[in-house]
Amino acid sequence: SQQGEEDPQALSIQEGENATMNCSYKTSINNLQWYRQNSGRGLVHLILIRSNEREKHSGRLRVTLDTSKKSSSLLITASRAADTASYFCATNPDYKLSFGAGTTVTVRA
Partner 1 sequence: GAGVSQSPSNKVTEKGKDVELRCDPISGHTALYWYRQSLGQGLEFLIYFQGNSAPDKSGLPSDRFSAERTGGSVSTLTIQRTQQEDSAVYLCASSPGSNTDTQYFGPGTRLTVL
Shortest Å, Cβ 70 to partner 1: 17
Shortest Å, Cβ 36 to partner 1: 11
Nearer to partner 1, 79 or 98 (CB): 98
Shortest Å, Cβ 92 to partner 1: 7
CA distances from 39 to 5, 42, 75, 86 (A): 20, 8, 21, 8
Nearer to partner 1, 33 or 79 (CB): 33
Beta carbons of 28 and 39 less than 8 angstroms apart: no
Enumerate residues 6+ apart whose C-beta is below 8 A from 1.
98
Q: State the amino acid at position 68 in one-letter form.
A: S
Binding site residues, partner 1, CB under 8 A: 2, 4, 30-31, 33, 35, 40-45, 48, 50, 88, 90, 92, 94-102
